[in-house]
Amino acid sequence: MQDLRFALRTLRKSPVFSTIAIFSLAVGIGANTAIFTLMDQLLLRYLPVKHPEQLVMLDQPTYTSGQVWIDHSFSYPMYQDFRDKGQVFNGVLARAPLAMSVGYHGQTERAEGEIVSGNYFEVLGISAFLGRTLTADDDRTPGGHPVAFLTYGYWTRQFGGDRSILNQTLLINGHALTVVGIGPPGFSGMEVGRACDVMVPIMMEPELASSTVNPLENRRVWWLNVFARIKPDVSPKQADAGINVLFHQINAEEFRAMPAAPPRFRDRFVNKHLSLLPGGKGLSELREHTSEPLRVLMAMVGLVLLIACGNVANLLIARATGRQKEIAVRLALGARRVQIVRQLLVESMLLAALGGAAALLIASWASYFLLHFLPFEGIGLTTAPDMRILSFNFAMAIAAGLLFGLAPALRAARPDLAVTLKDQAGSVAGGFAQVRFRKLLVVAQIAFSLLLLVGAGLFARSLYNLKNLDLGFRAGNVMTFTLDPSLNGYDESRIQAFYARLQSDIEALPGVRNVSLVDNAALTEDVDQVSVTVEGRHPKESGQIIPWVQRVGPGYFTTLGIPLVAGREFTKRDGKGAPLVGMINETAARSFFPNQNPLGKHFGFGERRGIADIEIVGVVKNDKSAGLKRMAPEFVYVPYMQQDIGKMTVCVRTVKAPEQLAAFLRQAVKREDASLPVFGVKTMETELDESLFAERLIAALSASFGFLATMLAAIGLYGVMAYLVARRTREIGIRVALGADPGKVVRMVMREVAWMAAIGIAIGMPCAIALGRFIQSQLFGLESYDPMTLALATVTLGAASAAAGYIPALRATRVDPVVALRYE
């Protein structure tokens, strides 16, 4: 405590030193805490369930037969087989996302739903906060138990935590469901990064989803994620072996039920291996998008903290030179060196603790920025620090304190007592070993800064290449929004009539140039792939053909500005009862009909049926709607008027800024159906930016970290050069007295600056090239050793170093020889 009180008094007497040191640490620790806050919730944290380490997620190879609705999915009958016959599991649950339209007291809002098995809460070990959870009794009869379970976050956000909502009726997708329970705080489903609002039993799927097939009975519809809890006395290897015996038996039974399945398909289908993936952290699409960028950013902020620690270490060494006489006196009076080291380490730890406390504020701001950088709505992540974040912050502060404090403390505790107590000038300035150590710190800071600058340059250039890519369509002046009338109980004929009326209403609005609709909008990564039969191609010879499918409205390609290569677009005459027509892109044309004119040829949905009944009436140019980094896949387009549809995205090309029409578009929908939720209202340019959110995030943050690191390195270089100039004041005064001109003095100082910068850059350059190879998968359109980026980073760092060294050099030219010769 005596050391702590002394450290507080000492730091209070040096406010400038304390402020600079605390600010440097706050920035370094705060940046690390902010990235860790997001990384922890997405990559590291287990779900708030009972014994999450026992949970596994079942996964199978994509080589299958049927309709695949979501990734990592199984059919409901197969889930029942796992649940009833899986001897290695204590319980098996199933879940699937379900879009919902929730009405209460005349207000209808879109909600994120989840359809779950009756044993969902039992297997997870979760109890209700209010009421009860869903049970196996709620999941026995299709449509027989219209009940709903609300998550805690949705209950507090949408209903203000009103307990009277229990046993009340909500209108969900046009059906009345009774609220039976509220979930515990912190739990929002099994999908991390998608906060679930409402959970309903699987047996309500036929009522709420309006599926064209019955997925409760169909083994060819893959739509459920399956999680299981391994028995405590069963090892993961035993569980894997045991469940795969059952899985192969199930596949053999399913193969026998397939109509006309080719023999070559049997071995691959029956002998698929079922994987048991770790399930304690749930599943997450957001995790897949952000895991690599977050790891890269965590490495970058680690370098920023090292540079900040180097700066503080330099400050402590400089400060220790002014305290050498104090330390020498204390040693002469009998103090032990370990006491001196302890005292200096207490000061360092106090600085680190204050920096860590300030870092929490910086981390809170930065985390808020990071979460709002993500394009996903309702992600269920928080910026509020919990014990894990506070522990990480505390650990970083302690580690930083030891990192920057230990070496200066050990050096300061070894003064030459005789020389120091004589109060000679050299004792104040410090020895050559101390100078070398400080120079070494600056060289390391320059090398780390080069790494960050090169990384920032590579990410910035990659983002530039993506943003200037030829999309194949015109994103400017296009507004999009999404509707799903099926969630409000519309049947197919009402849906078709609704969309036709809505398109006519929007076309009549002032400022609207074109209007059309599409089921899976461009750049959203919504994918619909269906096996097709192509005229003149036998599947046994050519292999299975599974193109991307889009159901579009009349004038879709004109609205988006996708050029027509041959034939015609769809028109309003291509409706129900009209001849079936379709269009394909250039990739599909080359693949389906090499060296042939595709117009007038036919394709059909369903490889097994072998019916090619859709006439190709047009070919369009390839575009980047499937993803900017992806080569254009095979696309087939069909008129939505000839298909069974539900959710559709309306695309509106405007004359002026599309944002000005957003309110009018909502009003047009409201005139047709005031209870129909409108969601995803955004411009196509916003959609483009959101599709690049990971690239924009890493480019923006790496540029910020690179700038910050360069400034910290420049400050460290300035401190060392100012120290060296002060140390050589007498020498410089003699040189000036003997006639040295200011230019020579400047060159003498800048020579040392150049050497330190050159050594730092020489060390950092091969490391930067290695870094480029490490992040190559994150780049687009350039090599990891991009010469322009390396040159710009080198020039930037050299300029910053020169600026940092020039100020002490200029100050050296103004030394008064008379004062310098008397300098002690």
CA distance 58 to 275: 6
Q: CA distances (Å), 462 to each of 71, 456, 766, in order? A: 29, 10, 21
State both tokens at 684: 């196509």
CA distance 544 to 539: 6
Q: Which of the residues in the chain have pLDDT under 70?
A: 62-66, 210-212, 258-265, 321-322, 373, 375-380, 412-434, 538-543, 607-610, 727, 815-824
Q: What is the pLDDT of residue 426?
A: 42
Q: What is the pLDDT of residue 646?
A: 87
Characterize the bridge pairing of strands 581-585 and 614-620.
parallel
CA 285 to chain CA centroid, Å, is 9
Q: What is the pLDDT of residue 461?
A: 92
State both tokens at 106: 């005349």
Phi and psi torsions of 268, nearest 5°: -65, -35
State both tokens at 403: 């990192």
CA distance 363 to 36: 9
Check: CB of residue 482 under 8 Å from CB of residue 687. no
Q: Which residues of 521-549 are buried (b: 16+ CB within 10 A; e: fewer)?
A: bbbbeeeeeebbbbbebebeeeeebebbb
Which of 321, 327, 326, 345 has the alpha carbon at shortest distance from 432?
A: 321
- Cβ neighbours around 580 below 10 Å, total: 16
Q: What is the pLDDT of residue 431?
A: 54
The single residue listed with the structure tokens 């203000």 is 160
End-to-end C-alpha distance for the chain, whole angstroms: 36
Q: CA distances (Å), 433 to each of 415, 417, 436, 725, 750, in order? A: 12, 17, 5, 16, 21
Q: What is the pLDDT of residue 252?
A: 84
- Cβ neighbours around 45 below 10 Å, total: 16
Q: What is the pLDDT of residue 132?
A: 96
Q: What is the pLDDT of residue 459?
A: 92
H/E stretch holding 99 reads strand 89-104
Phi-psi region of 674 (alpha: psi -120 to 50; beta: other; left: phi over 0): alpha
Cβ neighbours for 479, distance < 8 A, ≥ 6 positions apart? 651, 652, 654, 658, 659, 661, 662, 665, 681, 682, 683, 684
The model's pTM is 0.81
Bridge partners (DSSP) of residue 637 are 550, 583
Cβ neighbours for 412, distance < 8 A, ≥ 6 positions apart? 317, 320, 323, 324, 327, 340, 344
CA distance 125 to 707: 48
Q: 550 in helix, strand or coil? A: strand
State both tokens at 215: 């997925």
CA distance 600 to 614: 9
Q: What is the pLDDT of residue 571?
A: 93
DSSP one-letter code for 283: B
Side chain identity at 536, as an amino acid letter? G
